[in-house]
Each structure stands twice: as C-alpha cells, then as structure tokens.
Amino acid sequence: MIDNKILKYTLQKMATDVDKCQCSVEKKLKYELNLEHGEISLLRTTIDNAYQVIVIKDNKKGSITINKTDELSVDEALTTVMDICLNSESDEAYDIAPVVENKAFIYGDEKPNLDKMYDLLEGYVKDIKEKYPTIKLMDTAISFTITVKYLMNSNGVDFKEQKGIYEFSSLFSAKEEEKSSSFNYSGYTLSKLEKDLLSYGSIKRVLDETVKQIDTRGVQGKFNGDVIITPDCLLQFIYLYIQVYLTDMPLISGTSKLKDKLNEQVTSPLLTLHTRPRGEEIASRSYLTNDGFEAQNMTIIENGILKSFVLTQYGANKTGLERAKNTSECIVVEPGDTQASEMIKSIDKGVLVNRVSGGMPNDNGDFSVVLKNSFYIENGEVKYPLNETMIALNLMDAMENITAISQETINFGGYVLPYIKIKDVLISGK
C-alpha cells in the first residue's frame, strides 16, 4: 500500500533546516457494504491518505497534514510548515520522542472476508424482520478497514503499524401505524467475523428497548434521584471527565480540580478505570501515540485513587508531571459485584440513561444534558420511556457518588464498560 520512502525523503530534506522533525504517512483502505431501502448495496471501496510533518526550530513549532503523498505536494507542505514554524511562538516544552528500538506492529486480517461480510449483513436484515418486526433499519453498514501507518523522526524513531478491523453500525427506529420512536443506534468493532451480528456489543438490548420507546412521557417537575448510566452512554461521561480534569490544557492552565490529587482518592472506591490499547479484549487496538511513542496499557484510576494523568509529551514538559503511556484510548472499566437488574430494583425514583445530548461541561465539570432513548424508574421497576427530560450534574461529584457497578460488561471492540449507578442527580421534566 505505502512505504516509508517519503518519510526518509522528508527527514533528509529538513535535516539542515530544523532542529527536530517528526513525520508520518498513513493509508486507509476501506471496504463497505451498506443497506439502502432495506437491501444490500454494492461494495464501496474508499482510500484515505494522510501525510503529517512536525518541525521544531529555535523552540518554535510548525505542523501540517495533507492528503497527498507525491513529491511535489510534500515539497509544498514542507515550505508551508517552515513558514508556520518561523511565525509561531517560542516554547521550550516542544519536543519529539527519543529514539527507541524500531518496531513493526501487525494486527488483524490483511484482506476482508467479503463473502462473510455479505452473509452476515444479509442475516442481520433477516433477523430484524423476524425478531423485530416494528424496527425500521436506516443507515446500517458493515466494513473492513486496513490501515498502514509509518512514523519516523530525526531522533531515529522508526515505527510501522498495520491493522485490519471490521466495523458494524446500525441506525434504526421503531414504528407502529402512525407512531414511531426516536432514532437509536448501536455498533462495535471486531478483529474477526465469527458470529451473527446480533451477538456482539449491546445491539440486542438497544433493539429491545427501541421497540418500547414508541410512547414516551416526561417526568413531572424536578427531583434528586439515582441514575443508571448504561455501557452505551458511559464512554461519553468518562471521556468528558478525562478532558475536563486530566489532560494537557486543564493541567497546564491550572483549572483542573484534580491537579494536585495524584495518588489520592478522587472517585468512589468502586471505580477502577484503565486505558488498554494493547488489551487482549480490545479489537480496535492502537500501538502508537500521535506524539511518536509506543502506546502501552495504563491505569488511570484504581479503586478510586488517581494513578495517572493523561498528558502528552508537551503537557508533561509544561507541567513537570509524567507523560501518559497512551492518549486515553480503549477505555476499560472493571466490573463490580452487583447485577444490573439488582441496581434497578434498588432505585426508588430515578432514570436509566442510554443516550444524552448536550454541550460540553464548564471548567468546573458542571453540565446539563437532555436524555435520549432513556427510561423512568420508580419503586425498583422500569416504568416508561422518557421525553423532554434532563439531568444536571458535576462530573467530579458524579464519580464520587457512584454507589454500584454492574457485574455485566459490554465489549464494543474499542472499549469495555459496565453499568454504573450514581446517587443524588438532579432530574428535570416539563
């Protein structure tokens, strides 16, 4: 597909012009089968190229990414990136990765099993018609992407990463006569195609719940109650928590409320949170960081204790703290000791949160979101699907107020998550 010749050319050309240089080239070849009007469309193949170069001179940095890899385009990009560098602000924290042993990482299939992809998608359509007659499929696709990436720098770093990943996603709604539910979706990634498409991720549960979401109601007034965040929604909350408190900008600026909390209790002791880009349970693995390091597994929170920030090399240099072993990819939350059904039974008044829509939290971690495809819980029972309902919380308080984590987890291929129960959340209806 591609090779590292263009990177060797880049480093040679920039050797006398800059102090440090990092460059990468990546090619993605994607084979995709889609549903159109309930029928499988013809195979579509797309190719995406990305060439990136980062240069540092006199503590000034320039960066550019283009989608062409011919010599003329590369030469133009190098001229542009030098202009960007020379006109940037000086910062001694800019750097590139030090030399390590050169490595090649190869994972997954090299070619798609197209016959299997077709058969599985055809079987999925048949299963939906037979098992979920009220479900109407919309944007639904199965794909295989082979990605090859080379990364080199002027310190001598020389990496290759090649991975082949299958991905399935499905958008749908339920309809009975003139009534219909709102849109819902589910999906996952796989390294191998082994079982029918209903067997992976949370798709069966999401389909079952969508069928029940045709007649929705809102809660009355406001109250503080318990919420259960499903695995489908938990990833969003965790990423927001990481972004608000643990990454470069909040730690460099000092806005993070956790900036001085390393090795201290910051969440409920029930929570243990890892990022595992090399995990055996992860289908869409990642072996390289964007700043030129080999990605390794990492624990961020262990039994409620903050074990690591999520800092890039630049953030580590600016703060004097340790660089993270990856860039918060492939989230894995360890299971608890409570069944999800028991979590529901323990709630007097609250909501089951499947999906949310809303803005970003503020620097303090406060935010409000509208619930989508979610349910009202009362007296230990799921009562009805919700509309026009919001929850408001503080991310730090929410993680401290976790009162249960489920034994069950859902593996989405790129992340593995349980259900979590959080107390004392403001729930607002009409």
What average pLDDT is seen over the chain? 95
State the Cα–Cα distance between residues 308 and 312, nearest whole angstrom: 12
The helix (run of H) or strand (run of E) holding residue 382 is strand 381-385
pLDDT for residue 368 is more than 70: yes
pLDDT for residue 36 is more than 90: no
State the Cα–Cα distance between residues 69 and 152, nearest whole angstrom: 15
Q: Which tens digits make up the pLDDT trace of 116-164?
A: 999 999 999 999 999 999 999 999 999 999 999 999 999 999 999 999 9
The position carrying tokens 């060797």 is 8
User: Identity (one letter) of the amino acid at 50?
Assistant: A
Structure tokens at 222: 């406001």
Length of the chain: 430
SS3 sequence, 295-323? CCCEEEEECCEECCCCCCHHHHHHHCCCC
Q: Which tens digits make up the pLDDT trace of 78-117?
A: 999 999 999 999 999 999 999 999 999 999 999 999 999 9
Q: Which tens digits make up the pLDDT trace of 384-416?
A: 999 989 999 999 999 999 999 999 999 999 999
Phi, psi of 401 (to 5 degrees): -95, 20
Domains of the chain: 5-211 (3.30.2290.10), 222-428 (no CATH)
Q: Which tens digits make up the pLDDT trace of 284-306?
A: 999 999 899 999 999 999 999 99
Q: Which tens digits make up the pLDDT trace of 228-239?
A: 999 999 999 999
Q: Which tens digits make up the pLDDT trace of 248-279?
A: 999 999 999 999 999 999 999 999 999 999 99
Strand partners, 371: 356
State the Cα–Cα distance between residues 261 and 420, nearest whole angstrom: 23
Strand partners, 265: 305
